[in-house]
Amino acid sequence: MSKDASERGPATPAEAEDLAKRAVGEYLTACRMTERAQIANYAMTLCSVAGVVMAQAAGSEDAALRLEVTAAFVRRAMPADPAELRPIQ
């Protein structure tokens, strides 16, 4: 018999990342984009909503710091020019 979510406890970081990738892929598909340029706009909407949820859960300072650290990672580790589109990560 499988355990329900309350018996398994919170998702591990790896499980959470897999869930996030799947959710982002499903969200972008559901947005019915017609051109590549729309990806960034829809992804930013998702980030904005996530930022508000983080602020409600942990306060605006913590949420802003998390978003700033993520922005610094993107700036440092991601290509400056748009990349070839592939499945999410």
On the question of pLDDT at 87 being above 90, the answer is no
The average pLDDT across 21-36 equals 93
Residue 70, Cα to own-chain centre: how many angstroms?
A: 10
Question: Does 17 map to a domain?
Answer: yes
Q: What is the domain range of residue 51?
A: 12-77
- The number of distinct structural domains making up the chain is 1
Question: Does 86 map to a domain?
Answer: no
Reduce the secondary structure of the chain to three states and give it as a string.
CCCCHHHHCCCCHHHHHHHHHHHHHHHHHHCCCCCCCHHHHHHHHHHHHHHHHHHHHHCHHHHHHHHHHHHHHHHHHCCCCCCCCCCCC
Question: Does 4 map to a domain?
Answer: no
Residue 2: band (very low, low, confident or very high) from pLDDT cuts 50, 70, 90: low
36 compared with 5, residue with greater pLDDT = 36
On the question of pLDDT at 1 being above 80, the answer is no
Question: Does 83 map to a domain?
Answer: no
51 compared with 5, residue with greater pLDDT = 51
